[in-house]
Amino acid sequence: YLFTVLAAFTVIAVVVEKAGAEDISSLGGLAQRSPLLATSLTLAMVSLAGIPPLAGFFGKFLLLKAVIAEGVRWHAYYWLFAVAVVGVLISLYYYFGVVKAIYWSKGTTDMTPISVPLPTRFALLVCIVGMLWLGLNPDGALELAVEAVKSLRLA
């Protein structure tokens, strides 16, 4: 979730700085004011929702897969799976509320374009590539995670 959360908080920080407000209404009209910020935040929300081909899907998929695998031995895990699925559905509602605000809300009266500094643009592009890369090629990240878990067991 590194790239996903970094992208989301970067966009929110830029919007809060420019709009001077910290509520969801400040995202209204963002697609017109800054397509890069809108795209970055949209991809972050879609990734957090766990929709492929973004990195967030991989994490949620592995978690739910592990719960189902344990459910074969311990039937209580099926309840955990049900709770996790309900949690995912609730999160979809909230994440797509942000996307709705970006593209379909009227926004503030100030619709001047938001200029994004070059270092911030670069960071957002790295985050976008990271979300897509890890979603499409999760094997490398999975191998690193497995090695990290193995090293923790030895300690």
Return the residue matching tokens 């420019």.
Answer: 18
CA 33 – CA 146 distance, rounded (Å)? 42
Q: What is the pLDDT of residues 94-129, one digit of tens each?
A: 999 999 999 998 766 678 899 999 999 999 999 999
pLDDT at position 62, please? 82
80 CB contacts (<8 Å, ≥6 apart)? 67, 71
Q: Residue 42: name the closest of 14, 86, 11 by CA.
A: 11
Torsion angles phi and psi, residue 73, rounded to 5: -90, -35
Q: What is the pTM of this model?
A: 0.86
Range of the domain at 138: 2-154
Split into its structural domains, the chain has a count of 1
The whole-number pLDDT of residue 73 equals: 77
Residue 86: its pLDDT value, please?
93
- The per-residue pLDDT for 107 is 67
> What pLDDT tens digit does each residue of the chain (155 aa) get?
899 999 999 999 999 998 888 889 899 999 999 999 999 999 999 999 999 899 988 888 888 888 888 777 777 888 888 898 899 899 999 999 999 999 998 766 678 899 999 999 999 999 999 999 999 988 888 888 788 888 887 64
Q: What are phi and psi of 110, to 5 degrees?
A: -85, 105
Q: What is the pLDDT of residue 109?
A: 63
State the pLDDT at residue 154. 63
Compute the chain's Rg from CA coordinates: 18
